[in-house]
Amino acid sequence: MDEFYAITLVATALVLLAAFSSLIAFRFGAPLLLLFLVIGLVTGVDGLGIEFSDNAFAYALGSIALAVILFDSGYGTSLQSFKLSAFPALTLATAGVLITAGMFGLMAHLLLDFSVIEGLLLGSIVASTDAAAVFFLLRIGGINIRDRVRSTLEVESGTNDPMAIFLTMALVQLLANGDGASGFDMELLRLFVEQMGLGLGLGLIGGALIVFILKRISVERGLAPIFMLAMAMLIFAYTGAVGGSGFLAVYVAGIYAGSQKIPASGAIRRFQDGMTWLAQIVMFLVLGLLATPSQFPSILLPAILLGLFLVFVARPLAVWVCLLPFDFTQRETGFIAWVGLRGAVSILLAILPILGKLEDGQLYFNMAFLVVMISLVLQGWTIKPVARKLGLIIPPRIGAIDKLELDLPGTAHHELLAYRVVADSPVLRGERIPRWAMPSLVIRDGKSMRYQYAGRLRESDQVYLFIAPGYSKLLDRLFASKAPVEEDDSEFFGTFAIAPSTRVDDLDQAYGPLTINDADRAKTVAELISQRLGGQADYADRVRLGTIVLIVRDLDETGHIASVGVSLEPVAPATNLPIFLNIRELAHALRDYMRRKRAKAGEGKK
């Protein structure tokens, strides 16, 4: 019993330490997930002496934590964002993983004493981006970039794990059975299609079941988040048990559930946030404890070379090839390549060779751990500066805002919002609250009063309003402070503005020739932008038409385009090689390396 209390004491102390470390991360811009790993390393066997070597338990616990993170990631991804980025993201999640694994595997074969299949196994382990790292750094890090770029990164990180897991498991099985390359046959392809198909199908069914139960059954408000998370874990476990990809299923279920109006949604989101933080902390701490830093020095040099190769060569080339058919600029492609963070998924997969009793099982784990550390240090610390350098940071539409979403009982068709009136907000400057919003209560200096009798609103007033679902973003503008204006904001939104009702044919005659067909000439600029963006435009979206770029400057109350900016500076598509890559220098370096290796082999034979 004393041992139980000791373990509990140490575990809770580590979680608290990790939680407090977030203050350091937010202040100095450090990758928080890297801090969690470092805390695990420092307190492990080579640090404070906590010995933890249960690989099977770590894999099981990490898989559950990853399922929680993926469900929350899907729940926070809007259906519109998913539709906008589905094709490029899924291309990256499948072909991108294969290309990355292949290139990294060949480099591992050259640098390490690995066969091609063993190199591909290591490549498969580190081929997928980490959902926890990507979602945290993009959402929590306050990086406001174009919705299509953000959605592509988030959907890719949520859907590429099944491909990497499948490849890793298949290669571990082949090496454990001694089949070699001959083991790649149609059976593996069938298993892959089965896993993906079951994952997608059961994920959609599970998401619909979650929504149906929470809407039809009267659940205590405090139990609703527990019901949802428990059903998400049921979907994950059942899909895996019948041979599907549980990770894909739980992510798809999250997207479906998050796109529906569910009772107690506010309580569910707050609960999900807390559980996701706990899952990230526990997963990274456990994986840090599992590592043995004293084994790192012997493989440090090849690990650094492989990590740099992954960051600067394999990932950029894979992204460039996969995004060629899509309308991304060179800078957007470069940013997507840079946000290829590796994290807990790669370390989790590196446990599989140990569990599969491969001869170099621990070597796979150590190499993957160091590659993840390199990725988090290089990319995690520089995402925001890189986005700013590439000109992808969207100027803020509104300033600071203090808003609280309140749950309404049952299936009410309204939302209840509470705003605190901040300095310089439009409502203080005389802007009227729109008719579709129904203000009901004002709290001023601790006293409550009806809105009709409150008179002119004052700073620090709490205002409660009923609105129709989906209109909250439009109301935010009234209660927000002034947005900080940067000197280069005008450059981001174009040289000048035009009316969204401008005909495309008139635009072509003034600034053409544009890349448009005859059917598009009769459309308005707003109609063409919406069509090119999949049906709905958002703030700061961009569409290239030959030598000009159209930018959405603003939306009206109904969500339609209200103002369009025009940039006359041509933005070429990403047809050139990735901006991080110089193939000629790489080819010379590889040629010199192979010459030295052949020379050493010749000397050995003599």
pLDDT band at 597 (very low <50, low <70, confident <90, very high): low
Average pLDDT over residues 189-206: 88
- Segment holding 185, helix H or strand E: none
* pLDDT(281) > 70: yes
Residue 586 reports pLDDT greater than 50:
no
Is it the case that residue 582 has pLDDT exceeding 50?
no
How far is residue 205's CA from residue 232's CA, in Å, rounded to a whole number? 11
Q: Of 455, 479, 503, at which residue does a domain stop?
A: 479
Answer yes or no: do 351 and 461 share one domain: no
Q: Which of 72-76, 281-285, 327-331, 490-494 has the lowest mean pLDDT?
A: 490-494
| Local confidence band at 250 (pLDDT 50, 70, 90 cut-offs) | very high
Pairwise pLDDT comparison (8 vs 54), residue with the higher score: 54
Weakest-pLDDT range from 331-340, 454-463, 543-552: 543-552
Predicted local confidence at residue 78, as pLDDT: 77
**How confident is the model at residue 403, as a pLDDT?**
78
CA nearest 77: which of 153, 187, 188, 151? 151
Q: Are 166 and 159 in contact (CB under 8 A)?
A: no
415 by DSSP, 3-state: which?
A: strand
In a domain, 578, yes or no: no
**pLDDT per residue over 96-112, tens digit each?**
999 999 999 999 999 98
Contact between residue 251 and residue 264 where contact means Cβ atoms under 8 Å apart: no
Contact 585, 313 (CB under 8 A): no
Cα–Cα dist 4/11, whole Å: 11
Q: Is the preceding peptide bond at 513 cis, omega within 30 degrees of 0?
A: yes
537 & 471 share domain = no
- Please state the φ and ψ torsions of residue 563, each to the nearest 5 degrees: -150, 140
Residue 475 within a domain: yes
Residues 188 and 171: their CA atoms lie apart, in Å, by 10
Nearest C-alpha neighbor of 203 from the set 389, 294, 74: 74
For the ranges 92-101, 172-181, 264-273, 583-592, the one whose mean pLDDT is highest: 92-101
149 and 95: one domain? yes
Number of domains in the chain: 3
Sheet holding 548-555, edge to edge: 496-498, 561-567, 548-555, 542-545
CATH code: domain of residue 466: 3.30.70.1450
pLDDT exceeds 80 at position 256: yes
Residue 238 burial (C-beta neighbours within 10 Å; 0-12, 13-18, 19+) = middle
Question: Could you tell me if 454 and 461 are in contact, meaning their C-beta atoms sit under 8 angstroms apart?
Answer: yes
Same domain (yes/no): 319, 424: no
One-letter amino acid for residue 32 of the chain: L
Cα(319)–Cα(311) distance, integer angstroms = 11
- Residue 64 above 90 pLDDT? yes
Q: How many residues does the chain have?
A: 606
Decide if 243 contacts 63 (C-beta within 8 A): no
Q: What is the mean pLDDT of residues 577-588?
A: 50
H runs (alpha helix) in 427-516:
472-479, 489-492, 504-511
Q: Which two tokens stand for residue 418?
A: 């509470």
Residue 301 predicted with pLDDT over 90: yes
Nearest to 513 by CA among 559, 467, 546, 490: 546
With respect to residue 579, please indicate whether it lies within any of the assigned structural domains: no
Q: Give the integer Cα–Cα distance in Å for 175 and 167.
A: 12
Q: For residue 261, which amino acid is it?
A: K
Residues 272 and 329 in one domain: yes
* 293 domain residue, yes or no: yes
Residue 583: pLDDT band with limits 50, 70, 90:
very low
Question: Are 475 and 497 in the same domain?
Answer: no
Q: What is the pLDDT of residues 471-527, one digit of tens each?
A: 777 788 888 887 765 555 556 777 778 888 888 888 877 776 777 777 788 888 888
Q: Please indicate whether residue 572 or residue 164 has the higher confidence score (pLDDT).
A: 164
536 lies in the same domain as 423: no
pLDDT higher than 60, residue 580: no
DSSP-based helix, strand, coil % in the chain, nearest 5: 60, 10, 30
Alpha-carbon distances of 227 from 192, 209, 217, 268, 470, rounded to whole Å: 31, 12, 11, 10, 25
Pairing label, strands 561-567, 496-498: antiparallel
- My answer on whether 201 and 267 are in the same domain is yes
Average pLDDT over residues 268-273: 86
Q: Which residues lie across from 444 on neighbouring strands?
A: 447
Residue 546 has pLDDT above 60, yes or no: yes
Domain boundaries, position 25: 2-48+55-389
Q: How far apart are CA 69 and CA 278, in angstroms?
A: 10
Dihedral angle computed from the Cα positions of residues 255, 380, 64 and 244, in that order, rounded to the nearest 10 degrees: 60
Question: How far is the C-alpha of 585 from the C-alpha of 567, rounded, in Å?
Answer: 35
Tens of pLDDT, residues 67-90: 998 898 888 887 777 877 889 999
User: Residue 544: which CATH number?
Assistant: 3.30.465.10
Q: 2-28 vs 32-43: helix axis angle to the nearest 10? A: 140
Report the first-to-last Cα separation within the chain, whole angstroms: 65
Per-residue pLDDT band at 536 (split at 50, 70, 90): confident
> Within a domain: residue 374?
yes
In a domain, 435, yes or no: yes
pLDDT at 585: 46
Number of C-beta neighbours around residue 522 at 10 A: 10
Q: Give 34's pLDDT tier (boundaries 50, 70, 90).
A: confident
Q: Is the pLDDT of residue 413 over 70?
A: no
Radius of gyration of the chain (CA): 26
Tell whether 500 and 556 lie within a shared domain: yes
Position 102 scores a pLDDT of 94
Domain boundary, last residue among 479, 507, 534? 479
Q: Is the pLDDT of residue 599 over 90?
A: no
Q: For residue 590, tell me if it sits in a domain.
A: no
Q: Does the structure show a pLDDT above 70 at 216?
A: yes
Which residues have C-beta within 8 Å of that of residue 422, sequence separation ≥ 6? Answer: 399, 400, 401, 402, 459, 479, 480, 481
* Cβ atoms 126, 372 nearer than 8 A: yes
Per-residue pLDDT tens over the stretch 347-385: 999 999 999 999 889 999 999 999 999 998 888 888 888
Is the pLDDT at 183 greater than 70? The verdict is: no
Backbone angles phi, psi at 448, to 5 degrees: -100, 145
Q: Which residues pair with 448 in a beta bridge?
A: 443
Please, which residues bridge with residue 464 across strands?
418, 441
- Say which residue, 1 or 422, is predicted with more confidence: 422
Contact yes or no for 536/559 (Cβ under 8 A) = yes
CATH number at residue 253: 1.20.1530.20
Single pTM value for the model: 0.80
How far apart CA 30 and CA 32 sit, in angstroms, is: 6
What separation in angstroms does the CA of 147 have from each of 330, 417, 527, 542?
17, 25, 19, 10
Extract the tokens encoding 111: 């640098």
Residue 324 has pLDDT above 80, yes or no: yes
Q: What percent of the chain has pLDDT over 90?
A: 25
- Identity of the residue numbered 416: L
Q: Which of the pair, 413 or 465, is modelled with greater confidence? A: 465
- Lowest average pLDDT, out of 167-181, 258-272, 482-496, goes to 482-496
Q: Which two tokens stand for residue 132?
A: 């926890």
Q: How confident is the model at residue 592 (pLDDT cuts 50, 70, 90)?
A: low
Judge if 407 and 368 occupy the same domain: no
Closest by CA position to 141, among listed 25, 283, 276: 25
Question: What are the DSSP calls for 58-107, one per residue?
Answer: HHHHHHHHHHHHHHHHHHTS-HHHHHHHHHHHHHIIIIIHHHHHHHHHHH
pLDDT at 296: 92
pLDDT in tens, 109-160: 999 888 899 999 999 999 999 877 787 777 666 677 877 888 899 889 888 8
The three-state DSSP-derived secondary structure of 265-282 is HHHHHHHHHHHHHHHHHH
Among the listed residues 358, 446, 4, 332, the one whose alpha carbon sits nearest the alpha carbon of residue 173 = 358
259 domain-assigned: yes
Distance, CA of 295 to CA of 108 (rounded, Å): 18
Matching residue, tokens 């946000």: 339
Average pLDDT over residues 561-589: 61
Residue 507 and residue 449 share a domain:
no
Decide which of 359, 389, 419 is a domain's last residue: 389
Instruction: Provide DSSP, 217-284.
Output: S---TTTHHHHHHHHHHHHHHHHHHTTS-HHHHHHHHHHHHHTS--TTHHHHHHHHHHHHHHHHHHHH
Amino acid in position 74: G
Q: Are 339 and 432 members of one domain? A: no
| Residue 444: pLDDT over 60 | yes
